[in-house]
Amino acid sequence: MRKFLLPYLTSPITVVGGLLSIGWLLVALLAPLLAPYDPIKTLVPLAQPGAANPAGGNFWLGTDMLGRDILSRLIYGARTVVVFATLATLAAYLVGVVLGLIAGYRRGRVDAVLSYVANVVLSFPVLVLYIVIIVVIGSSPFNIILAVTFGSAPAIFRIVRGITIDVASRDYVAAAITQGESVWRIMLFDILPNASGPLVVDFCLRLGYTAITIGTLGFLGLGLPPPTPDWGTMVNEGRGMAIAFPHLVIFPCLAISSLMLGLSLLADGLREVSEAQGRRL
C-alpha cells in the first residue's frame, strides 16, 4: 500500500488537491458537529464578520439579511454540494460507462444509434440543457441529479466507447472470448479495468464541474428549494447588497472556488502520476 501511495504523496499538486477535496468532504460529513449555529435560524441580521452574538459566541463570517449565520450555512452547504454533486456524477458515470461499453464492444447498429443520440445531446450547451430540464420538470434533488446525468452521460459514453474499441482488439480479450467467457464478464473484468486511469481523472474533473453546476443553478434560482443551505443560492441572495455587505457573496464564492480548485488539482496530479508511471513501464 505504501509503495502504491508514494508516487501520489510525492506530487505537490496531488497532495494540495487531495487536502482541499478531502477537507470539504470532512466538513460535509461533520457538519452537525462543526456548525456553531442552526443554518436556518434567524439570529442577528447583517452582522459583520467577527461580530459578537448577544446570546454568546461570535459570527465569524457574519450573518445574512435574514440573520442566519454564514459560517453555519457554508458548512451545511458543503454537505448539499458534495453529496448531490457526487450522486449526480456517479449516476452519470453509471449510465455513460454501461452504454459506452455496449457501443464500443458490440459496434454495428447499436453503436450507431447510441453515438447518434450522444452527439445530439452534446450539440446543446450543457448549462442551457440543465436549465431547460430543471425548468420543465421542476427543481428538486432528484431532478438535479437527473439533469446532470442526462447532460454528462454522453461525454462519458464517448470516452468509454473509444477506450473499449481500442482494448477490445487486444489479444487478452480475444483469449477471453476463446475461453467462452460471457460478454458482460469480458466488458466488466477485461475491458473496464483498463479504462480506469482516464476515467478516474475525468471523474475528479467532472465532479468539480457538477459542483459548479449546482452552484450556478442555485444562483439562477433553480437549485435546491429553500431554506436548504446552498452556496449558489447564498451568492444569489447576497448579490443585491454585495457593495455594502461584501461578506454575503465573498465567502460562498471562495467555498465554491476552493472545492473546484481542489478537484482540478487532484485530477491534474493523478494524470501526471499516471503518465509518469506509464513512461517508466
Angle 140-142-146 (CA atoms, 0-180°, nearest 5)? 115
CB 38 within 8 A of CB 227: no
- On whether the pTM is more than 0.85, the answer is yes
Average confidence (pLDDT) per 10 residues, the chain, 281 residues: 59 88 93 93 92 90 94 92 90 95 90 93 87 85 88 93 89 84 86 84 88 86 81 89 91 93 88 66 48
How far is Cα 91 from Cα 96, in angstroms, rounded to an integer? 9
What angle, rounded to 10 degrees, do the helices at 12-29 and 70-106 form?
120
Instruction: Quote the cell numbers at residue 244.
Output: 455594502
- Which residue ranges form the domains of the chain, and what is each CATH number? 80-280 (1.10.3720.10)
How far is Cα 130 from Cα 213, in angstroms, rounded to an integer? 8
Report pLDDT for 139: 79
The full DSSP string for 18-83 is: HHHHHHHHHHHHTHHHH-SS-TT---STTPPTTEEPTTSSEETT-B-TT--BHHHHHHHHHHHHHH
How far is Cα 255 from Cα 11, in angstroms, rounded to an integer? 24
Phi, psi of 30 (to 5 degrees): -105, 20
Instruction: Quote the cell numbers at residue 170.
Output: 487486444
Report pLDDT for 261: 92
Report pLDDT for 135: 85
- Residues paired with 53 in a beta bridge: none
How far is Cα 71 from Cα 250, in angstroms, rounded to an integer? 12
Report pLDDT for 252: 94
